[in-house]
Amino acid sequence: MPESTSPPLARAALDRDGEARGVDGFAERFDADPASRVIVLHRGRALLAERVEGSAPRLQFLEPPRAPGSTLRCYLGRTIAATAPVASADEAAADVSTASSDDLPPGTPIELRVLDDAAAARLEPEDARWANLRTAAPVLGDRDAGLFTEALALANWHSAAPFCPRCGSTTTVVQAGWARRCDREGNLLFPRTDPAVIVLVTDDEDRVLLGSNALWEQNRFSLLAGFVEPGESLESAVIREVGEEAGLRVDRVEYRGSQPWPLPASLMLGFTARVADGTTPSTAMPDGVEILALRWFSRDELAAATQEVALPGGTSIARWLLERWYGGPVPESRPWTAT
Ligand SMILES: [Zn+2]
């Protein structure tokens, strides 16, 4: 596949407009601007617009007076002029990547409001209109997929950061939702992102190594992955994770791309690596704790196994890396949904 394709959640079409976050009276100005629009989240799900026949799925954009009040408001940025569609790893996304780009004029300021149960039920009681990121992202256009990803990442951080980690005091949201200030010490706390590496390991015959995680259903296979430890480089994390989970020595570690994975707060950094010279691929041994089974697949073997093996979902960077190795969409595999 062409180098230009992005992982599905790395798609974005927005000016984050960071300068505006620190402007005094920003919230009041936002509310007074008739061009402003609000998207809403409730328990990690976004409100989608009602489907009109023939239209692509899109987020619901509300005028500020129509958007319920919320304890959490975050300014996400301004829309930009639609550009040529960016090809996506996911065919469905590629089909609609520009479909929602022309309904808001460029420069439209967008804010996130997080709703409680009562406000969400008042605004839209129909459950089907609320969608989670994993199912919505592949069918949303670039702008809306990016907005949802940004909004969810911010909302998740706020829900986990009500208190100062240093002194335990309450904190107050500042900078239009991009920081919190400790109410006692006055220091600023910024949203955090946890880096994780995910690695497509191949051998000299260009077979791919897939592992089955202990937490997953049987026969569900994906790439090896793990969090980067403090004081560790990304490349070292790749080599360590493959060593721990598969007992294999790898080298030729190469970075391929990244995407946010705000479930709840990760940034997935995708790599490829090769089994090191002098290491026999068949000695791959699952650690028995995190990884229960390991299998090598040639392209033909993977295509033949798709009825028996569940592969990572279309929103994941694992699928994106796998399809780049495979050379295109992997034939229909068993559906793999939620974790
Ligand atoms: Zn503090």
- With respect to residue 183, please indicate whether it lies within any of the assigned structural domains: yes
From 139, 159, 179, give the residue that closes a domain.
159
Percent of the chain with pLDDT over 70: 91
**pLDDT of res. 204:** 96
**pLDDT of res. 55:** 84
CA 131/CA 55 separation, integer angstroms = 17
If you measure from the C-alpha of residue 335 to the centroid of ligand 1, how many angstroms do you get, rounded to a whole number? 46
Residue labelled with tokens 């489907």: 51
From 136, 159, 182, give the residue that closes a domain.
159
- With respect to residue 258, please indicate whether it lies within any of the assigned structural domains: yes
**pLDDT of res. 218:** 85
* 3-state class (DSSP) for residue 210: strand
- With respect to residue 337, please indicate whether it lies within any of the assigned structural domains: no
* 3-state class (DSSP) for residue 150: helix
Q: Are residues 15 and 91 in the same domain?
A: yes
Q: Are residues 230 and 148 in the same domain?
A: no
Establish how many alpha carbons lie within 13 A of residue 287's alpha carbon, considering only the half-sphere containing its beta carbon. 15
If you measure from the C-alpha of residue 189 to the centroid of ligand 1, how many angstroms do you get, rounded to a whole number? 9
- Name the stretches of the chain with pLDDT < 70: 1-4, 83-102, 333-339
Q: Per DSSP, what are the bridge partners of residue 235?
A: none
Q: Are residues 12 and 153 in the same domain?
A: yes
If you measure from the C-alpha of residue 174 to the centroid of ligand 1, how many angstroms do you get, rounded to a whole number? 15
| Length of the chain (residues) | 339
* Owning domain of residue 116: 8-159
If you measure from the C-alpha of residue 24 to the centroid of ligand 1, how many angstroms do you get, rounded to a whole number? 23
Instruction: Name the residue among 323, 320, 205 with its Cα closest to residue 274.
Output: 205
- With respect to residue 292, please indicate whether it lies within any of the assigned structural domains: yes
Contacts of 29 (CB under 8 A, 6+ apart): 23
Q: Are residues 316 and 255 in the same domain?
A: yes
If you measure from the C-alpha of residue 170 to the centroid of ligand 1, how many angstroms do you get, rounded to a whole number? 8
- With respect to residue 331, please indicate whether it lies within any of the assigned structural domains: no
If you measure from the C-alpha of residue 186 to the centroid of ligand 1, how many angstroms do you get, rounded to a whole number? 7
- Which amino acid is it at 101? S
Establish how many alpha carbons lie within 13 A of residue 146's alpha carbon, considering only the half-sphere containing its beta carbon. 24
pLDDT by residue (tens digit) across 62-76? 999 999 887 799 999
| CA atoms 156, 160, 161, 165: torsion sign | negative
Element (H, E) at 15: strand 14-15
If you measure from the C-alpha of residue 162 to the centroid of ligand 1, how many angstroms do you get, rounded to a whole number? 11
Q: Are residues 12 and 144 in the same domain?
A: yes
Instruction: Name the residue among 250, 257, 201 with its Cα closest to residue 224.
Output: 201
For 279, the token pair is 């290491």
CA 142/CA 82 separation, integer angstroms = 10
If you measure from the C-alpha of residue 181 to the centroid of ligand 1, how many angstroms do you get, rounded to a whole number? 8
Q: Are residues 49 and 114 in the same domain?
A: yes
* 3-state class (DSSP) for residue 18: helix
If you measure from the C-alpha of residue 163 to the centroid of ligand 1, how many angstroms do you get, rounded to a whole number? 8
pLDDT by residue (tens digit) across 187-210? 999 999 999 999 999 999 999 999
**pLDDT of res. 91:** 43
Q: Are residues 181 and 203 in the same domain?
A: no
CA 124/CA 47 separation, integer angstroms = 8
- With respect to residue 296, please indicate whether it lies within any of the assigned structural domains: yes
| CA atoms 121, 122, 127, 132: torsion sign | negative
- With respect to residue 119, please indicate whether it lies within any of the assigned structural domains: yes
Query: 85: cis peptide before it, omega within 30°?
Result: no
- Cβ atoms of 112 and 14 within 8 Å: the answer is no
Residue labelled with tokens 């919230």: 27
Element (H, E) at 239: helix 234-246
Write the Ramachandran bin of 40: left for phi over 0, alpha for psi from -120 to 50, otherwise beta: beta
pLDDT by residue (tens digit) across 228-276? 999 999 999 999 999 999 999 999 999 999 999 999 999 999 999 999 9
If you measure from the C-alpha of residue 179 to the centroid of ligand 1, how many angstroms do you get, rounded to a whole number? 13
- With respect to residue 335, please indicate whether it lies within any of the assigned structural domains: no
Q: Are residues 107 and 201 in the same domain?
A: no
Give CA angle at 29 (76, 141), nearest 5°: 30
**pLDDT of res. 98:** 42
Q: Are residues 99 and 176 in the same domain?
A: no
**pLDDT of res. 12:** 86
Q: Are residues 213 and 153 in the same domain?
A: no
CA 251/CA 275 separation, integer angstroms = 6
Q: Are residues 13 and 153 in the same domain?
A: yes
**pLDDT of res. 82:** 76
If you measure from the C-alpha of residue 105 to the centroid of ligand 1, how many angstroms do you get, rounded to a whole number? 41
Q: Are residues 202 and 70 in the same domain?
A: no
If you measure from the C-alpha of residue 160 to the centroid of ligand 1, how many angstroms do you get, rounded to a whole number? 15
If you measure from the C-alpha of residue 184 to the centroid of ligand 1, how many angstroms do you get, rounded to a whole number? 6
Q: What is the pTM of this model?
A: 0.89
Residue 49 per-residue DSSP state: P
If you measure from the C-alpha of residue 180 to the centroid of ligand 1, how many angstroms do you get, rounded to a whole number? 10
Domain count, the chain: 3
